[in-house]
Structure formats: C-alpha cells, structure tokens
Chain A
Amino acid sequence: MATLRGEQGAVQFDAAGSNNATIVGTRSWSLTITKETLDTSVHGDTFRSFAGSMVSGSGTVELVYDPDATGQAGFLEDVVTTADPADATFELFTSGTATGTDSVSFAGIITDMEITSTVGELVIVSCSFVTSGTITSNLE
C-alpha cells in the first residue's frame, strides 16, 4: 500500500543524543525543511536564477500528556536545558520505528513547550523544535 495514515508513524527522541526511544502518547508531528536560495542572476540575464544554499528545518510534536508515558518527560523538559548544545536527537517516522527507514532524523533544540489543560479535555503538550546540523531523510 502506498498511502499512509498518521497513526502508523512515531517520534523517537533522546535528550543526550545516544539512544533514541519512542515517545509514547505522541499525537502528531510536523516538519518543515527549508532551503535558502542565493540569487545568481547576472547582468544581461532576463530570467532570474538561483543556487540552493543552507538547509534548515523546524517543526512541532504534540503529545497527549501522560506523566508516566515513556519518553514524554525527557522530551518536554528538554526545553529548559540551558546553554543547549543541540545534542538531542530526533527521528520522525511516517511508518514504523525501524531506525533509518521511513523517517527523517536530525539533531535539534526544543524551542517552545506549551502545555494546555482545559475542562473536559485531555491535557495536551505541544513542542516546537529547530534542527541543528545535518538532516537525514529516509522518506523512500
């Protein structure tokens, strides 16, 4: 089957960057990869031309908050890491949890964490991150 549904995916994370583990209770993830461009147009050109430059990424991970769920505390508390060396590693899976398969992996920094508690609703945590260094795409 060529198409996927979101629930087939997963998010793995390790604050120390050594052994990624699945964050249980992940509701969604998103990743945007952006490539800057350099204008290489020269005098006499009638059409503008560009060259690809620096690549960066950012995204979000949303959790159904469960203080006992494996991986959640380490993930959402990484936002309070001061002088963050961007040593945390992420792997975002579209399907399964096999390292390097159907995933995008990178080191990164959690830049925002928002926890929302509303009457009659589940407590939700939303974290934003930026990538740092190489982004490895295995979305084959």
Chain B
Amino acid sequence: MAAADLNTVRSTIESRLATELASSPSIPVVFNNVSYSPTPNSSWVQCLLNFGAGEYLSLGGTSNSYNRITGVIVTNIFTPKGTGAGANFTIAKRIRDLYNRIIVSGVYFDAPIGPEVVSASPEGYFQTQVRVTFEFIEEL
C-alpha cells in the first residue's frame, strides 16, 4: 500500500457535495480558497474541509502499518433573511443525507451535527451549519 493521498480524499468528499447541489434545485457551492460573491437574497453553500489528527493504529514502520486520519466537513448554508428556516433546513437535509453514516472510497462519515443556527457571516443571510466528522485508515 501507499501513503494516503489527501487530495484524493478531498476530491471524493467535495465532488459528492458538488454533484448533489448541482442537481435540481441547484444551489451554488463554494469550497476552500475559491472566491465567490453571493447574490443578495439567494441561497448558497460554503463547504470547508479540514484534516485533523493522525494517529498510530498498528505496529510497524513505513510499511505494513496503519494510521487513522480524521477530519471534519463544515458546511455553511445561507438562505435569504426573513423568510423562515424551511428553505435552509431543506438544503441541510440534502447535505446530511449525503454523508450520514456513509462509507465512500474508504472514508467513514459519522452522524452529522446540525443544522445549527449560527450568526450569519457574511451578514444579510439566515445561516446554519452542518458538520460531519470523518475518518479513514491509511495503509502503508
């Protein structure tokens, strides 16, 4: 085996979300380090993926050994202000369903957290956040 390619993991996770939100009704989605100017009174999603701690899982050096790598997907869901939470939670459900306890390409997604209502940033929207922790096993 070989060291994990974190960019492949990132691509697996992000493409899943991009495909889902491209389907009807489509919602713009923005990923890390991508500029985006939201249209006022529109709905859109920001996806921030972070890798976290790695830990030894097994004995062994750089071969015949396992590591556990964890991470979190933070999705910020923005919908127009003053129109209630329904539209926002509908998008949140699509995102939850996308990752909820699913195993894709060796990535284990945990039960999602949220949607939690948070202070909107940028202002002018109703914002919630869905977070999904995940892990995968690196086989060296």
Are A22 and B64 neighbours in the complex by a CB distance under 8 Å? yes
Select from chain A the residue with minimum beta-carbon distance to B140.
A24
A4-12, A30-38, A78-86, A132-140 - interface stretch? A4-12
Question: Whole-angstrom distance from the CB of B21 to the nearest CB of chain A?
Answer: 27
A49 interface contact, C-beta 8 A:
no
Task: List, in ascending order, chain A residues with CB within 8 A of B56's CB.
Answer: 6-7
List CB contacts (< 8 Å) of A106-136 with chain B: 120, 122
Are A26 and B58 neighbours in the complex by a CB distance under 8 Å? yes
What does the 1/0 interface line of B36-66 toward A look like (CB < 8 Å)?
0000000000000000000011111100111
Are B58 and A24 neighbours in the complex by a CB distance under 8 Å? yes
Are B59 and A26 neighbours in the complex by a CB distance under 8 Å? yes
Are A70 and B64 neighbours in the complex by a CB distance under 8 Å? yes
B110 interface contact, C-beta 8 A:
yes
Q: Please judge, given known A-B contacts A7-B65, A22-B64, A70-B64, whether A64 and B110 are in contact too, CB under 8 Å.
A: no
Are A8 and B58 neighbours in the complex by a CB distance under 8 Å? no
Task: List, in ascending order, chain B residues with CB within 8 A of A64's CB.
Answer: 57-58, 66
User: Could you tell me the dominant secondary structure of chain B's interface residues?
Assistant: loop
Q: Please judge, given known A-B contacts A7-B65, A64-B66, whether A122 and B57 are in contact too, CB under 8 Å.
A: yes
Task: List, in ascending order, chain A residues with CB within 8 A of B68's CB.
Answer: 122
Task: List, in ascending order, chain B residues with CB within 8 A of A63's CB.
Answer: 58
Highest count of chain B CB atoms <10 Å: which of A7, A28, A120: A7
What does the 1/0 interface line of B84-126 toward A look like (CB < 8 Å)?
0000000000000000000000000010000000000000000
Highest count of chain A CB atoms <10 Å: which of B56, B60, B65: B60
Hey, which bits of chain A sit against chain B, CB under 8 A?
A: 6-11, 22, 24-29, 63-64, 66, 70, 120, 122
Q: Which 10 A-B pairs have the closest CB atoms?
A: A26-B59, A24-B64, A9-B59, A7-B56, A25-B58, A64-B57, A10-B59, A27-B58, A7-B59, A64-B58
Hey, which bits of chain B sit against chain A, CB under 8 A?
A: 56-61, 64-66, 68, 110
Would you give 16 A-B contacts (Cβ < 8 Å), ordered by A?
Answer: A6-B56, A6-B59, A7-B59, A10-B60, A22-B60, A22-B64, A24-B60, A25-B66, A26-B59, A27-B59, A63-B58, A64-B58, A64-B66, A66-B66, A70-B64, A120-B110
Given A7-B60, A28-B59, A64-B58, 15 new contacts (CB under 8 A): A6-B56, A6-B59, A7-B58, A8-B59, A10-B59, A10-B60, A11-B59, A24-B58, A24-B60, A25-B66, A26-B58, A26-B60, A29-B59, A63-B58, A64-B57
